[in-house]
Chain A
């Protein structure tokens, strides 16, 4: 089955700097890669996703890149703000309705003002 590795486990950046979180996956059949942000005690919130027919996707300060050949994808947050502080999870799955997401172990991002 699918296995998702995520690095780093913790990341501290100064406000205004960029943050990059990287994930690798094992199943070449996976074709859907979402990123979730989870604040303490809250549900994971989808922040951006990418499908395997696209190499990069951007939404304001957030971007995701995908390298299918190498089986890795990354989350980029630019101009970080204190409210970006949270745990971020990457995930991978096949793009079908009954296929669950397999999550990475998460990255705790701290943005220092």
Chain B
């Protein structure tokens, strides 16, 4: 299947700092990518849909000013958690479909711990 990478895999930061997570499609182009958050022993919750060259679409309850998404190219989307707090600690996973109407493939995830 298609390959999606994510960086970093793990980050620990102090409260109040900002953290940027990168999601890349390695062997295909993705005009749309999806960002999910997963708390321990819970399901994947969609945060936003990232659209190349336009604004992201955020799910209800997700603060767009806190979770900044940029999809500047067909292979890269970034999620920036601004002014992170301990309650933002979670597993963040991106995904993309390949082909566009095909299966959705996930990145390896980023475990964020905010102290």
Contacts and interface: CB of A to CB of B under 8 A. Distances in A.
Given A98-B49, A100-B46, A104-B43, A34 B104 contact: yes
A7 B55 CA distance: 36
Interface string B67-85: 0000000000000000000
A46 B103 contact: yes
Given A95-B101, A97-B97, A98-B51, A42 B108 contact: yes
A97 B100 contact: yes
Nearest to A44: B106
Interface in A17-67: 34, 36, 41-46, 49
Interface string A79-113: 00000000001010001111011111110000000
Interface string B91-115: 0010101011101111111010000
Interface string B45-66: 0100101000000000000000
Given A46-B1, A89-B44, A97 B109 contact: no
Nearest to A96: B101
Nearest to A106: B43
Contacts of B1: 46
A98 B107 CA distance: 17
B29 to A, nearest CB: 11
Given A43-B108, A96-B101, A97-B97, A102 B46 contact: yes
Nearest to B9: A41
A89 B43 contact: yes
11 contacts: A43-B93, A44-B44, A49-B103, A89-B44, A97-B32, A97-B101, A98-B100, A101-B34, A103-B43, A104-B43, A106-B43
